[in-house]
Amino acid sequence: MRAGITKYWGLTEEPDATTPTTWEVAGEYILKLVDGENAAFNNIRLIAALRSHGVPVPHIMKAKDGREFIAAEEGCYLLMEKLAGSHIKEVFEQDYAAIAYETGIVIGEIHSALMTVSNKTAGITPFHEELKGWISKELSGSSLLAKEEWSGPIEALCSIYPQLPKQQIHRDLHYGNLLFNGTTLTGVLDFDLGKQDARIFDIAYFLSGQLSGQKDLMAIKHKWIRFISQFLSGYESIIVLENDEKKALPLMIQCIELLFIAFWQQQANQEAAADMVRIFKFVEHVYSQE
């Protein structure tokens, strides 16, 4: 963090790091570092769109000179209010079916609000082009999966991708970016990765995220299947998915796992990549049984 950055907002308290790119300030604010001006403007416009539709998002605090962010060599800093609420953890040890249904409603409402955001960012690569590009390249150099294992889901998803409804999506939806008081949503966080793409990406990303950190996937297999069913019921009480989206969902979940395999392979983290392979094969097993 750049020393003295909080002076632009008239704050003297020392920031307390919570992640490598976020700091808590005075117990009331969150200081966030994003990659550059495009990421800063993306946060600002998506927060504004969600707030206008009643979705709880943090207020961005303007600097003393009226700026909404401060540009520095390492990126751009935004100061936001700290929202109340907590993250849902260990969902399968709770009333996961009820939580899934309520979360489906929440994400349906988020998507409904994001539908009003037009595409203002040029040069954004859609997911299916990433799959055919850098992801396939990384997987081709991996010893963790044979080509016949990963090429099938990619080809199948890419063939249906042009028909999938597109809109502004969050692109990083998981319980770590949602705050709740009980089952009531109190905050949506982190809009750095938002872009225009297939809306089913957000749903698949969220559902696949419930498998992360699970040591025994087979032990929660039936719970995860039930979680998906309840989540989709909640989501479709707000937005009804098209048939192509329902057909694409298993493929999208598998391809998101392939994205993570490729990412960790790129980062030379074989342990993390191998764990993503474990989840990928589990997802393949679940849907092959249907």
State the pLDDT confidence band at 163, using cuts at 50, 70 and 90: very high
Q: What's CA 261's distance to the chain center, in Å?
A: 16
Other beta carbons within 10 angstroms of residue 168's beta carbon come to: 26
Domain boundary residue among 47, 81, 115? 81
Residue 80, pLDDT score: 96
Q: Same domain for 159 and 215? A: yes
Over residues 199-215, mean pLDDT: 97
Domain boundary residue among 36, 55, 81? 81
Q: Same domain for 247 and 137? A: yes
Residue 183, pLDDT score: 80
Q: Same domain for 141 and 224? A: yes
Asked whether the beta carbons of 33 and 1 are under 8 A apart, the reply is yes
Q: Same domain for 176 and 251? A: yes
Number of domains present in the structure of the chain: 2
The dihedral formed by the CA atoms of 273, 276, 282 and 283, expressed in degrees to the nearest 10: -130
Q: Same domain for 138 and 33? A: no
Q: Is residue 86 part of a domain?
A: no
Asked whether the beta carbons of 186 and 85 are under 8 A apart, the reply is yes
Residue 148, pLDDT score: 95
Q: Same domain for 56 and 106? A: no
**What CATH number did the domain enclosing 179 receive?**
3.90.1200.10
Residue 123, pLDDT score: 61
**pLDDT higher than threshold 80 for residue 253:** yes
- Which domain does 9 fall in, by range? 5-81
Q: Same domain for 77 and 167? A: no
> What pTM does this model have?
0.92
User: Can you list the alpha helix ranges (DSSP code H) found in 12-115?
Assistant: 37-52, 96-114
Measured CA to CA in angstroms, residue 174 lies from 25, 139, 177, 204, 269 at distances of 24, 25, 6, 11, 22
Q: Same domain for 67 and 140? A: no
Considering 6-20, 38-52, 150-164, 183-197, the range whose residues carry the highest mean pLDDT is 150-164
Q: Is residue 272 part of a domain?
A: yes
Q: Same domain for 11 and 113? A: no
Q: Same domain for 53 and 137? A: no
Q: Same domain for 59 and 154? A: no
Give the pLDDT confidence of 113-130 residue by residue, as tens digits: 999 887 655 568 899 999
Q: Same domain for 244 and 105? A: yes
**What CATH number did the domain enclosing 20 receive?**
3.30.200.20
What percent of the chain clears pLDDT 70, i.e. is strictly above it?
98
Residue 57, pLDDT score: 95
Give the pLDDT confidence of 5-64 residue by residue, as tens digits: 999 999 988 899 999 999 999 999 999 999 999 889 989 989 998 999 899 999 999 999
Residue 209 neighbours by CB under 8 Å, 6+ apart: 173, 174, 175
Residue 124, pLDDT score: 80
Q: Is residue 166 part of a domain?
A: yes
Domain boundary residue among 37, 63, 81? 81
Residue 182, pLDDT score: 85
Helical (H) or strand (E) element with 30 = strand 29-34
Over residues 88-95, mean pLDDT: 94
